[in-house]
Each structure stands twice: as C-alpha cells, then as structure tokens.
Amino acid sequence: MKKILVCCNSGVSTSLLVAKMKQEAEDRGLDVDIEAKPLADAVGLLAGADAVLLSPQIGFAQGSIQEVSDVPLAVIEPDVYARADVGAILDSAEALLNA
C-alpha cells in the first residue's frame, strides 16, 4: 500500500478533501492510504510517505521540504484545489507515485 500525504496550513479543510479523495481512490481500485496533516506535523511524517501533495496556501514550503526529503512532492493547482477536483488531484498523486 502506498501512502499519500496531503498537507495544508491546519489540516482542517484538507481533511474534507481527503475524504473525497479516499472515495475516488476506492472507486479506482487503488491501494493507497491518504492522510491530511498540517504542515507543522508533515515534516515528521515524510519518511513514511510515498508522495506528498501541498495545498496551494503552503506551496511556498515546497523548496524547504525538498531540502530535507527526497519524497516525490507537488503543489496542488489553486483552481483544482478550489473546485475540490479530487479526480485531478488523485491523478497528480498517481503521477508522483509512478515517477
């Protein structure tokens, strides 16, 4: 099972998004564990993640995270995040997992 970590400022709004992502992943038959965490907690969880997605609000942290970890990482596009387009977000996560 692959682990996808989705990070935002506090983890609250992303928790709702992750619930929808889990359903989409189940519908696609993907063997993934998706978890939402605030950025402050994410650094300690990088080693256990196979892919990390950052909400647009914390995209500024991408470089800092890449300095301390080689886990595949991407920032969710603002319009995709705003629409809660879980299909597109899961596509991004799959691309990271398959990179």
Report the first-to-last Cα separation within the chain, whole angstroms.
16
Instruction: Identify the residue whose tokens are 């038959």.
Output: 29
Query: 4, 6, 7, 8: which is the annotated catalytic residue?
Result: 8
Question: Is 7 in the active site?
Answer: no
How far apart, in Å, are the Cα atoms of 92 and each of 40, 47, 52?
23, 20, 10
Active site members? 8
